[in-house]
Amino acid sequence: MPSPIAPMPDAAAPAGRRRLAPQVRAAQILDAALAEFSEHGFAATTMDDIARHCGLSKGGLYAHFASKDEIFEALLHRSLAPPEWQDMPAPPIEAGTAAFARWLVDRLYAGLLERPAAVVTLRLLAAERGRVKDLVELWEHNVVRPNMAMLGELLHAHVAHHGLASSVIVREPWLVVSPVMHALLTQMILGRDPSVGLERMREGHVELLCELLDPRAYLAQAK
Amino acid sequence: MPSPIAPMPDAAAPAGRRRLAPQVRAAQILDAALAEFSEHGFAATTMDDIARHCGLSKGGLYAHFASKDEIFEALLHRSLAPPEWQDMPAPPIEAGTAAFARWLVDRLYAGLLERPAAVVTLRLLAAERGRVKDLVELWEHNVVRPNMAMLGELLHAHVAHHGLASSVIVREPWLVVSPVMHALLTQMILGRDPSVGLERMREGHVELLCELLDPRAYLAQAK
Amino acid sequence: MPSPIAPMPDAAAPAGRRRLAPQVRAAQILDAALAEFSEHGFAATTMDDIARHCGLSKGGLYAHFASKDEIFEALLHRSLAPPEWQDMPAPPIEAGTAAFARWLVDRLYAGLLERPAAVVTLRLLAAERGRVKDLVELWEHNVVRPNMAMLGELLHAHVAHHGLASSVIVREPWLVVSPVMHALLTQMILGRDPSVGLERMREGHVELLCELLDPRAYLAQAK
Amino acid sequence: MPSPIAPMPDAAAPAGRRRLAPQVRAAQILDAALAEFSEHGFAATTMDDIARHCGLSKGGLYAHFASKDEIFEALLHRSLAPPEWQDMPAPPIEAGTAAFARWLVDRLYAGLLERPAAVVTLRLLAAERGRVKDLVELWEHNVVRPNMAMLGELLHAHVAHHGLASSVIVREPWLVVSPVMHALLTQMILGRDPSVGLERMREGHVELLCELLDPRAYLAQAK
DNA sequence: TATGAATGAGGCTTCATTCAT
DNA sequence: AATGAATGAAGCCTCATTCAT
């Protein structure tokens, strides 16, 4: 009988061997599935691939998931969980436009481009859209739209607080995200960073926001 | 009992029947393959699906393509052929910034969002990237980059011709394309137009370019 | 309606059912393959034939062999293993020529003609030579030639021990084997014993050797 | 309308091109079929292989043979036609045993080993025995046995004419053929001459016959 | 829980044969 | 006579899933 104190899941076990705690095993399986699905796609990934990837036998998977489809759905449920937009640094509302723009871009990069699972999951969603239409709609409605609305509010607050002219990006905050989406799409298709270079894209992105949020400052400096 | 009148050979047979010219048949097969691949993905599409879709027997496909992979490659070769950036209306260099911006956005939408094959092909590229890495690299190098360079020149010409302040988008013309990429990615994943609506995205995109290319005019109007 | 008495687990199941030890199953498969290949040839034998022959499903074969070709090679490896020339009765070096000749012929018949697998394997080798050239060369070098050399030594020992005139068959021991090869070839092509009859061929073979090894005795007796 | 004088079939046409005389084409097809069948076996040879080998298209074959099986049967009918044992040099009945033995061996080699089609046909017979049992039986009865009987008569005549002791090979003339069968079998399986070398086998064969037909002379010489 | 032999459905590909040209 | 696109029936092999161990 195990101690009432949960035994530490021992996340750093040398290699997943026999009889791990079910949650640990399940997580390992999902990790393996994400890697394999994103490498070969859902249909071209075999249960053996996944099993081998996490040091299990084919049959062993069925002790944790009832089918390949179930693995896929569990995987997306985990990957599409709303990001922790909360535990990010507070928006520097007092700071200048440049700092605000950089903060915004940093948030977007941290949440979308610097998490490898993000590109991989997006590729999966694109490839297997037919298989998970409902889940995607749910995600769009519960995660994507609220985040976009929140972004709009942030922009509005900044503009109002600093008495700036209201740019189109305040009404259409998705425009703020577009450059990151562009980078994501490129990575999805090229499988590598865009030729321009992520760092340069990031700087361009910041500059873009500055020009849009405070064109007067930009014109003054450009003189 | 057949009519004594010999039945007319039925010159207008309902569908392409036996013994079409090879190029015609091959094109039909690629059309069918594009439709099926984009609906189910490469691995989940069967040769039977493709054959049925173009009114051929499964084995008949092999008179034109040696394998499913070969169909896939031929399909991408055809889909990734450089677009006819040439036969588009000439850029209205004399016109104002608004007309120029609209012209740009129209071009991008016509070339990328309003051709159904474009979204479908991009989704295929993302899903089956591993299968066609080389082809994708070639396309990026021979088609994507030159187009981006050309876009940069157009922007530079406009700014120079009208004596405008040089925005970041002149140096980083990919920023001009980002909103379209954003829409593309959304379509790839949602399988439908973004919630915002394509028309509104288009207008926002035009406004964005106007603000960036001629901030003075924007500020004057916003006053 | 099942008997209330639990049906005995039927320890003597009619045929090897589920989950045999891999080596046992593999041997069964090779047995089945030998029978089927020799009946129809390699190309005309289907995996279903083999599977049915050993009470397995088609797919089950692939748990033990990766392909039809691999079954074929494993089969030949097993069939071409060097025979146990060792555990045969010792050569009667003291006995007379007649006994020696009969002993030789018995050995050859036992090793080549009275093992059904031998004819079958030879026919396979002839039919599918292109598929297994290397294996055949190895076999010729490692099995056939050493045996022929050993045969030469036996003949030499007999002749020397009994002070007989040295026949050409001492220098060319393959001549001793020729009648058996003749019978083998006939069986390979006719699929049955030669018209002359194996028993008569055997006796003729013994007589031939006697005439050659001890012509003096033969002449004396023939007088 | 062709001249009543048969146009010379032009056996040395550069390459079988369109519209040859049917018999010429048919012969070409059989030649091609023999080569391909013997290289890959019946089942593994495709109609395309045969067609390509004789410069025809797949469909073209069907203008001359109704099916693959029909080609196979026509091929064997041609290959198993009785050899021209007649037009060989007359047996040197007056000559000595050595000359007679050499003559015999020469006949056997000329008829069986030095005709490449012979080995090839035998291999086909062994491989596809099930397909042509009846034909093989007919051949054995009408060609093989009569030849063996004739061989027996030749041996008897020689022995009687020279007053030699009657060896077992007079009663069992198939023993005379065995060394050649041995060589044939080796070639069928190795696809090349035996390691011993055909020339040496031939000389051994001659010596063997001399020892058997005239042991007295052999003993005298060996003294 | 875990293993891996076994199943059975289904996919890709081949190929003898047909037939419009 | 000849061509080659087309058909349709197999055949090899894969793989999700089951189950005895």
Residue range D64-115, pLDDT digits in tens = 999 999 999 999 999 998 766 556 667 777 889 999 999 999 999 998 999 8
pLDDT higher than threshold 80 for residue D162: yes
B59 touches strand F (CB under 7 A): yes
Look at residue D4 in the predicted model and tell me its pLDDT. 40
For the record, the structure tokens of D179 come out as 């060394």
pLDDT band at A94 (very low <50, low <70, confident <90, very high): confident
Q: What average pLDDT does the structure give for chain D?
A: 88
pLDDT band at C87 (very low <50, low <70, confident <90, very high): low
Give, in order, the Cα–Cα distances in Å from B216 to each of A69, A208, B156, B163, B206.
56, 16, 18, 12, 16
Q: Please compute the mean of the pLDDT values over residues C175-182 and round it to a whole number.
A: 98
Task: Say whether residue C169 is in contact with chain D using an 8 A CB cutoff.
Answer: yes
Look at residue D189 in the predicted model and tell me its pLDDT. 95
Look at residue D87 in the predicted model and tell me its pLDDT. 63
The yes-or-no reply on C/B contact (3 CB pairs or more, < 8 Å) is no
Find the helix or strand (DSSP H, E) in which B69 lies: helix B68-79
pLDDT band at B4 (very low <50, low <70, confident <90, very high): very low
Look at residue A86 in the predicted model and tell me its pLDDT. 57
Q: DSSP readout, D137-192?
A: HHHIIIIIHHHHHHHHHHHHHHHHHHT----HHHH-THHHHHHHHHHHHHHHHHSS
Look at residue B198 in the predicted model and tell me its pLDDT. 96
Q: CA C49 → C1' F11, Å?
A: 11
Query: What is the per-residue pLDDT across A135-159, written as a single tens digit (0 to 9) for each?
Result: 999 999 999 999 999 999 999 999 9
pLDDT band at A90 (very low <50, low <70, confident <90, very high): confident
For the record, the structure tokens of C23 come out as 């080596």
- Please give the nucleotide, over all strands, whose C1' is closest to the CA of residue B49: E11
Size of interface A-B (CB pairs under 8 A): 156
pLDDT band at B15 (very low <50, low <70, confident <90, very high): very low
Query: What is the per-residue pLDDT across C1-11, written as a single tens digit (0 to 9) for each?
Result: 444 444 444 44
Cβ–Cβ below 8 Å for B181 and A177? no
Q: Please compute the mean of the pLDDT values over residues B68-80 and round it to a whole number.
A: 96
Task: Say whether residue A165 is in contact with chain B using an 8 A CB cutoff.
Answer: yes
B205 φ, ψ (degrees, to nearest 5):
-60, -45
pLDDT higher than threshold 50 for residue A15: no
Of the residues B125, B174, B195, B213, the best mutation for testing chain A's interface (the one with the most A CB atoms within 10 Å of its CB) is B174
Please identify which residue in the block is written with the tokens 């969980």.
A81
| Per-residue burial over A139-148, b = 16 or more CB atoms within 10 Å of its CB, e = otherwise | bbeeebeebb
Residue D155's nearest CA partner among D174, D138, D137, D136 is: D174
For the record, the structure tokens of B41 come out as 């993905």
Look at residue D95 in the predicted model and tell me its pLDDT. 86
Look at residue C67 in the predicted model and tell me its pLDDT. 98
pLDDT higher than threshold 80 for residue A88: no
Are C43 and D36 within 8 A, CB to CB? Answer: no
Looking at per-residue pLDDT, the higher value among A10 and D63 belongs to D63
Give, in order, the Cα–Cα distances in Å from C219 to each of C36, D98, D160, D213.
50, 19, 16, 11
pLDDT higher than threshold 80 for residue B174: yes
Look at residue C143 in the predicted model and tell me its pLDDT. 93
Q: CA B190 → C1' F5, Å?
A: 41
Query: What is the per-residue pLDDT across A187-206, written as a single tens digit (0 to 9) for each?
Result: 999 999 999 999 999 999 99
pLDDT band at B86 (very low <50, low <70, confident <90, very high): low
pLDDT higher than threshold 50 for residue B11: no
pLDDT band at A12 (very low <50, low <70, confident <90, very high): very low
Look at residue A95 in the predicted model and tell me its pLDDT. 86
Look at residue A84 in the predicted model and tell me its pLDDT. 66
Q: Does domain B15-66 have CATH number 1.10.10.60?
A: yes
Q: Which nucleotides of E are covered by protein (CB under 7 A)?
A: 1-21
For the record, the structure tokens of A135 come out as 């889940």
Size of interface C-D (CB pairs under 8 A): 157
In SS3 terms, A81-126 reads as CCCCCCCCCCCCCCCCHHHHHHHHHHHHHHHHHCCHHHHHHHHHHH
Q: Please compute the mean of the pLDDT values over residues D160-187 and round it to a whole number.
A: 96
pLDDT higher than threshold 70 for residue D2: no
* Annotated domain spans of chain C: 15-66, 79-222
pLDDT higher than threshold 90 for residue B12: no
CA–CA distance, B146 with B141 (Å, rounded to integer)? 8
D41 closest CB neighbour out of C43, C133, C179: C43
pLDDT higher than threshold 70 for residue B161: yes
CA–CA distance, B80 with B121 (Å, rounded to integer)? 8
pLDDT band at D16 (very low <50, low <70, confident <90, very high): very low
